[in-house]
Amino acid sequence: MSSIIQLLPDHVANQIAAGEVVQRPASVVKELLENAVDAKATNIKLIVKDAGRSLVQVIDNGQGMNVTDSRMCFERHATSKIRHAEDLFSLYTKGFRGEALASIAAIAHVELKTKQENDELGTHIIIEGSKFISQDPAVLPKGTSFAVKNLFFNIPARRNFLKSETVEHRHIIDEFQRVALAHPAIHFTFIHNGSELFNLPSSNLRQRIVNLFAGKTNEKLVPISEETEIVKVQGFIAKPEFSKKSRTEQFFFVNDRFIKSGYLHHAVMAAYEGLLKDGMQPAYFIYLEVPPNTIDINIHPTKTEIKFDDEHSLYAILRSTVKHSLGQFNVAPVLDFERDPNLDTPYHYQEKEASVPLIQIDANFNPFADDKPSKSYSGSSYREKRADAPAWESLYVGLKNDVQEIDVHSFEQVAVSSSLFNDVDLEESQNRTYQIHKKYIVSSIKSGMMVIDQQRAHQRILYEQYLKNMTVHQASSQQLLFPLELFFSVHEIQLLNELKPSLVTTGFVFDSIENDKVIISGIPVHVTESEVSIVLEELMNDLQSDTPENSFSLNDSIAKSMAKSLAVRTGTYLTEKEQENIVNSLFACKEPDVSPFHKPTFITISVDDLDKKFAI
């Protein structure tokens, strides 16, 4: 019987490995940027076209490679970072497995240009799908230029799984921000489709954060700093009033490597306890420096998760550091009683005893007596009767002639003959609605009773209303006396530009959308000024993961997000008219049975079901 186990060809093994290393164009950006940082570059330029599908190019002025290294870097498990297994616990660089470039070269067209400082000529290599096309000497500047074109050209199934250009571009921005935040001393430039998105000169950490996220970032940052034997903590956290519902501005770095850690995030949230509203997230940029032998960074393919030796101590240190900074910079609420000097005891009265006031009572005083009150004690002059006022009986002179006699017996007969439970009152009582626990609306129907979830019902009402407005382009807008100025990050501004046509059909009026500022002069009728920033932030948060490419799906997503943001919340008291309005509007919808998120809006309980509950 012939053998059934055989070795895979190198190009097939590389394509399989690429599925683990290269998930999307952002993965290529991450690997190339980290290689440029490891090459000790001081100036790195990222050029992207079509969200990485057509081109991802990174140009740096680092050390460069000689002819041998430029050819060896595309081999699997070829690396300059480690020599022994023990080196995994003393890493200060980014990449170390030696699989990234081999995986990228297996699924794209790669062009490498590199030159070392002391070499006269550099090396120009072209690879297509793991196949070497050419290798020639070339006149090049010092450093390396790595261009990756036509990603997944030989794996069409993987290429079809890529999201829209907006989503992929957003992932690239995320990776660029993570590397740029970890190395503020390096000058980074990001160009997308010929336009410059970021130009970040070498600066300190605070200025790098402000340059990346723009807006009023500088106002909301609070520095943190702590150094112990276990960890050195530094960075910035945001003031509670600048918190958002999204977690887009939360960064942890361990030894200048970006990581994700729910455990450390919980430590930060514990420090903010009592300062944030429900569902709000603070922004933070926290840098941890620990001995390399106390962490294991080889537990995740993308190296975004790290295992710490002493997580409990790290948790306590981080929590106390953040809490201390919030209190030190008067961010956390404290009991601060300002002493009024006017209330202090004068110096010459400090040793003097207080005199006890004497209380004197006039035992002979009678307020109903006609004669004047007694003046037997001092200070009673205010009791002396003023000038004689006219008699009070004169106020009612002639009034008796104008008063008509009222037949009390006839009034009682009318009151008794009128029924308190006529047919109209019975009908109104049957149509009356009631609110239970500020969550459900109960209304009677012929077969029994109906219980409506007020939040889901209002979501359905608003959803169909916004969808109709966006479809027929007839949304009403309320003009603002003073335009609103809202500040967002660069990628949020780009997303708003794409959503602008759909948002205009809902009632928003945009005066201008600049690099980091949006000016709004009109808002939808059912939206208040204080809700505008919340609605837009939640909308962008909902569309962070995926932006629909066709207009109908985009309008549907916007309508759902706005309905979720503006619907009446559970725990809100509703008047009887508001309850009736929700009930009537719900059953005027096309699909009143379910909310926009496919959850039931109401249930019915028949009289028979109620009878069964009371059956003995």
pLDDT per residue as tens digits for the range 72-87? 888 876 666 655 555 5
Handedness of CA 206, 208, 211, 215 (dihedral sign): negative
pLDDT digits 0-9 by tens, 57-73: 999 999 999 888 888 88
CA torsion sign, 200 to 204 to 207 to 213?
Answer: positive
Q: Which domain holds residue 477?
A: 448-602
Neighbours of 315 (CB within 10 A): 18
End residue of a domain, out of 328, 354, 370 = 328
Please tell me the predicted confidence (pLDDT) of residue 82.
58
Average pLDDT rounded to a whole number, residues 455-477: 86
Tell whether the model's pLDDT for residue 270 goes beyond 70.
yes
Taking 70 as the threshold, does the pLDDT of residue 293 lie above it? yes
What is the pLDDT, as a whole number, of residue 380?
Answer: 46
Which of residues 277 and 336 earns the better pLDDT score? 277
Q: Does residue 292 share a domain with residue 179?
A: no
Q: How many domains is the chain partitioned into structurally? A: 3
> What is the band of 54 on the pLDDT scale with cuts at 50, 70, 90?
very high
What value does the mean pLDDT take over residues 241-267?
88
Q: Is residue 388 part of a domain?
A: no
Domain-located, residue 102: yes
Q: Single out the residue of 168, 212, 176, 195 nearest to residue 37, CA to CA.
A: 176
pLDDT band at 378 (very low <50, low <70, confident <90, very high): very low
pLDDT at res. 188: 96
pLDDT band at 175 (very low <50, low <70, confident <90, very high): very high
Say whether both 258 and 139 belong to one domain.
no
- Residue 143 sits in the same domain as residue 175: yes
pLDDT tens-digit readout, 589-616? 999 999 999 999 999 999 988 888 888 6
Q: Do 174 and 281 fall within a single domain?
A: no
Residue identified by tokens 């489709």 is 193
pLDDT score at 318 = 94
- pLDDT value at residue 424: 41
In three-state secondary structure terms, 215 is coil
Does 170 have pLDDT greater than 80? yes
Q: What separation in angstroms does the CA of 358 have from each of 198, 204, 355, 361, 389?
A: 80, 72, 9, 10, 34
**d(Cα 169, Cα 25) in Å, to the nearest integer?**
9
- Give the pLDDT of residue 444: 87
CATH number at residue 75: 3.30.565.10
Residue 169 tokens read as: 């571009």
Is 21 exposed, middle or buried (CB count within 10 Å of its CB: 0-12, 13-18, 19+)?
buried
Are 539 and 558 part of one and the same domain? yes
The reported pLDDT for the residue numbered 478 is: 87
Give CA–CA dist 493/514, Å, rounded: 8
435 pLDDT more than 60? yes
Q: Considering the domain boundaries, does residue 429 fall inside one?
A: no
pLDDT band at 517 (very low <50, low <70, confident <90, very high): confident
Task: Establish if 90 belongs to a structural domain.
Answer: yes
Exposed e or buried b per residue across 406-422, where buried means at least 16 C-beta atoms within 10 angstroms of its C-beta: eeeeeeeeeeeeeeeee
State which of 200, 229, 258 marks the end of a domain. 200
The pLDDT score that the predictor gives to residue 83 is: 55
Place of tokens 């077969």: 447
426, pLDDT greater than 50: no
Q: Confidence class of residue 422 from pLDDT cuts 50, 70 and 90?
A: very low
| Residue 416 pLDDT | 46
What pLDDT score was predicted for residue 407? 55
* pLDDT value, residue 202: 94
Which CATH number do you get for residue 496? 3.30.1370.100
Question: What SS3 class is residue 421?
Answer: coil
| Residue 1 falls inside a structural domain | no
Dmax (CA) of the chain = 136
Average pLDDT, the chain: 81
Residue 192's pLDDT is: 92
Task: Show which of 328, 363, 389 is a domain's final residue.
Answer: 328
Give the tokens for residue 581.
């309005």
Please indicate whether residue 89 or residue 213 has the higher confidence score (pLDDT).
Answer: 213
Span 406-423, average pLDDT:
47
- Which pLDDT value is given to residue 459? 93
Whether residues 513 and 537 share a domain: the answer is yes
379 — pLDDT class (breaks 50, 70, 90): very low
166 and 221 fall within a common domain: no
pLDDT at 102: 84
Assess whether 460 and 575 both reside in one domain. Answer: yes
Confidence of residue 423 (pLDDT cuts 50, 70, 90): very low
CATH number at residue 226: 3.30.230.10
Query: What gap in Å lies between CA 567 and CA 583, rounded to an integer?
Result: 14
Q: Residue 386 has which token pair?
A: 């003023």
pLDDT of residue 16: 67
Question: What pLDDT shows up at residue 414?
Answer: 45
Three state DSSP letters for 560-607: HHHHHHHCCCCCCCCCHHHHHHHHHHHCCCCCCCECCCCCECEEEEEH
